[in-house]
Structure 1
Amino acid sequence: MALSKIFTMRFYARNTGFFLVLFYFFFGIVPGGQLLSYHYTLIKGFTGSLDFLAIVCVIWLLYNLKCIAFIINVLSTKEHTFLYGTLGILEGAAKWRTWLWLHVTLYAPVLIYSLVSATIAVRLHAYTAAFVIGLFNIIMITAPLWFYSHKMGHPGTVSFLARWQQWFNKTVRKPIWSFYGYELLNNNIRSFFIAKVVAAVVVIITCSLMGGKYDERFLLVGGLICVLAQSVLVYHHQRFDDLYLSMLPQLPIPLWKRYVQICILYLILLAPESILLVYKTWQSATLMHWLMLILTGLSLMTLFRSLLYLPNIDQDKYFRWVLIIIVIILFMGLARWYWYGILLLQSLALVIFCYRYYRYEAPLEKVD
């Protein structure tokens, strides 16, 4: 009971907002009479497609990592050092049962839903999907036990990930333009992975809905949704520069080179979904269509970045402009004016960037 208060109850209390959003997504957006059919269709969808199932497993993995991180953080706090004198003396089966019970109480939402999914997969004769779900969840509830046991045996040690990050940051020389990318991977990895998972789901759903009738405009709509989901990363890029790279304009770097560096950074950030898009449309799309989709996403993100150099652009105004631009490009895409749209986006982004870069002044609240 004491361990439940320390770990389980505190975990769910601390993540109340997260679970409310999750509950609304799974149970609140559909009428009560259609709830079972909604979940049955959802489960049928990802058990019938290994690509979709892989995305679902990644989401489950991220939740499991959240559970593991919570337990490790609790064990690392000073007020819970007494746990090393209680849990640390457990040996053999008692130790593994205790850690298994603690982890399962946190991982229970995913475990229950995955068991239901595996059962439905068996009834639909999707035996491969059922096997993958079963094996995946066995790993998810057994592998963390080793981390907990290692933590109890080595209190005060730094995690492998933290040690790797320290070594990487000290050893690898990073160009200034890539600092925000490393910031996402080190200190804002949750937002980064959420954006990437959403983009991957959109790409898979778009390609699945398109079926055998290939239409590049359909892919363009999916690509626009992917960029919209990642526009928040562009917004935080400006905030990061304001806080940590305010002296960047003073460096002797040509303006054109600064613009190219931003394009390279966003091209790298768009690489995961671009690779997935190429993989999913390998047999139907052409090289020009791939190039069009990638350049459209890159041009949108570059223009979003340039907009943040305009005066008096707050969060509300930024996302309002993002939606307006997305809608304009959507209509241009439906008319197959793809390259005109790319040219328009790049021209606006370059003009705004060149005119406003050295005139931009960070708001005082950001600097403070």
Structure 2
Amino acid sequence: MESSLSRVLVKIFARGFYRVHAGLFLFVFLALVGSVEAGQLLNYHKTLMLAFITSPLMLMVVFVIWLLYSIKTWHYTAGQIFGVNQQFLFYSSTSFSKGQQLKAWMLAQGAMLMPIIAYGLTAVVVGAWHHYYLSPLVILLYLVLLIWLGGFIYTTLVNRQIDGGKQSLLLRFGTKWRKPFYSLFIYQVFDNMKVRYVITKTISYFIVTGVFLLFADVSHDVRVAGIAMLAIATAHAVLIFEERKFEETYLIFARGLPQTRLRLFAGFALVYLMLLLPEGIWLFSRFNPLLAVELLAFGLSIVLLFHSLLYWMGLNMDRYLQYVLGLFMGLFFVILYRQIAALIVINGVVAYLVFYNNYYTTFAVKAEGE
């Protein structure tokens, strides 16, 4: 019976994902194959695989690209789960045990991740053939993590509707607390988005561990910490998107309140600073206070930049992830030149200007199929 559930999920979600994103896959295929002569194709990709297997910097870039692709699958599937045509899942799939559901959803997630799984496993074989073992092992663990996270997210979403979900401790014990306007999303996170928050922090933990494992010989280089904070900020892309969706859904009235844009921007900065608190504790436990403040400010500036972009482009996840990837690549190479302090200023100024110019003119635009 478990296999029947797997077949249904793969047919509905994996096939649907490939059908909706057929144009994207065609473009990627042409970029990977059409840009290289047929006779040089195998050597080209072998060289490319060895490049990121032997270089922690390149491997980190590849991992972020895979993460953004995974976020795209999570976003698509989560949206489809709550579609009218999939309502039967809430009373049929939940007749299986949660362990069986998790396995079935992991198979569906694996089917959606098949392009990166195939490429990743090929890279593992190439690396092992050339006697590189650490990077291939990390690649395998990372792929398993992405598959498990997808299965866990979907299983939780389906069962949360059945279980009803309980009000968080923060809301139950904070009923009489004063709640500033900027803090509302914090309560939303700990009441309705606990799973996404925990997953984001889990990814952050693996990023920190992986970066300092891969760069063990230069772990005290500020660029390594800067790359880690850049990756952590990128891992928060989903939470940032959800904050904007929450704002457009429940707080649209805020544009009529007598608040300056500077105060609103400062409020958003405080919200993200609170969400980055676990990473901040780690920074102060590992680095001297001055450097820890600089790195935390750097991560916060990136998050605010991602946040402000959504006022300009609307709630379009596909386009948003493209810009996140582009900014990641650009900031990554600037970090290599030790310009973290300059990036804090540039990111902060650009984020505020984009926010200032688009806050009162933005319109929420949802991606097709959302």
TM-score computed with the length of structure 1 as normaliser: 0.59
Aligned 8 A contact 1:198 1:229 in 2: yes
Structure 1 position 223 matched with structure 2 position 254: no
Q: Map of 1:241-256 to 2, 5 A cutoff?
A: 241-256=247-262
**Residue pair 1:203, 1:273 contacting (<8 A) in 2 also:** no
Q: Deviations over 1:108-136 (max 9, x none)?
A: xxxxxxxxxxxxxxxxxxxxxxxxxxxxx
Distance in 2 (alpha carbons) for counterparts of 1:358 and 1:64: 38
- State the match for 2:86 in structure 1: none
- Report 1:1-368 matches (<5 A): 6-7=96-97, 9=100, 12-13=103-104, 16-18=107-109, 29-31=120-122, 162=167, 164=169, 167-168=172-173, 170-211=175-216, 213=218, 214-279=220-285, 281=286, 285-311=287-313, 314-363=316-365
> CA distance change for structure 1 residues 334 and 242 in 2, over 3 Å: closer, same or farther?
same
Counterparts of 1:260 and 1:235 in 2: how far apart (Å)? 18
Aligned length, in residue pairs? 268
Deviation digits for residues 270-326 of structure 1 (CA, Å, limit 9, x no counterpart): 1112212332x3xxx433322221111111111111111115663232222222222
For residues 219-240 of structure 1, the C-alpha deviation after alignment (integer angstroms, 9 at most, x for no partner) is: 1111111111112211121111
Q: List gaps (5 residues or longer) in structure 1.
A: 46-55, 77-157
After superposition, the Cα gap between the structure-2 partners of 1:14 and 1:30, relative to the gap in structure 1 and judged at 3 Å, is closer
- Aligned partner of 1:286: which letter? N
* 8 Å Cα contact 1:235-1:305 kept in structure 2: yes
Any stretches of 5+ residues in structure 2 without a counterpart? 2-93, 139-143
Letter in 2 for 1:328: G
Please give the alpha-carbon distance, in whole angstroms, between the structure 1 residues aligned to 2:211 and 2:299: 16
Distance 2:110 2:149 in 1: 16
Q: Is the 8 A contact 1:235 1:308 kept in 2?
A: yes
Deviation of 1:339 (Å): 1.6
* Alpha-carbon distance change, 164 to 273 in structure 1, aligned in 2, over 3 angstroms: closer
Structure 2 SS opposite 1:195: helix
CA gap of 1:68–1:327, structure 2 versus 1, over 3 A, is closer
Structure 1 residues 361 and 62: CA distance shift in structure 2, 3 A: closer
Contact 1:203/1:277 (8 A) holds in 2: no
Closer, same or farther in 2 for the Cα pair 1:162/1:36, shift >3 Å?
A: farther
> Which moved further from structure 2: 11-20 or 304-313?
11-20
| Paired AA for residue 17 in structure 1 | A
User: Is the Cα–Cα contact under 8 Å of residues 185 and 243 in structure 2 kept in the other structure?
Assistant: yes
In the aligned structure 2, how far is the partner of 1:347 from the partner of 1:324? 18
SS class of match (1:232): helix
Q: Counterparts of 1:317 and 1:325 in 2: how far apart (Å)?
A: 12
In 2: Cα distance, 1:210 partner to 1:365 partner = 38
Q: Secondary structure at the match of 2:175?
A: helix
Which of the pair has the greater relative contact order for Cα pairs under 8 Å at 6+ separation?
2
Matched-pair contact (CA < 8 Å) for 1:310–1:356: yes
- The answer to whether the 8 A contact 2:185-2:246 is kept is yes
The whole-number CA distance in structure 2 between the counterparts of 1:323 and 1:69 is: 27
**Relative to structure 1, is the Cα distance of residues 276 and 250 closer, same or farther in structure 2, using a 3 angstrom cutoff?**
same
Distance 2:229 2:168 in 1: 36
- 8 A Cα contact 2:297 2:344, kept in partner: yes
Alignment partners' CA distance in 2, 1:317 and 1:63: 25
Alpha-carbon distance in structure 1 between the residues aligned to 2:341 and 2:310: 24
Partners of 2:100 and 2:362 in 1: CA distance = 47
Q: CA RMSD in A?
A: 4.4
Cα distance per residue 1:312-351 (max 9 Å; x no partner): 6632322222222222222222112222211111111111
SS at match of 1:360: coil
Counterparts of 1:62 and 1:235, CA distance in 2 = 18
> How does the TM-score come out when normalised to structure 2?
0.58
Deviation at 1:352, TM superposition (A): 1.5
Distance 1:28-1:265 versus aligned 2 partners, 3 A rule: same
CA distance in 1, matches of 2:127, 2:336: 34
1:203–1:276 Cα contact (<8 Å) kept: no
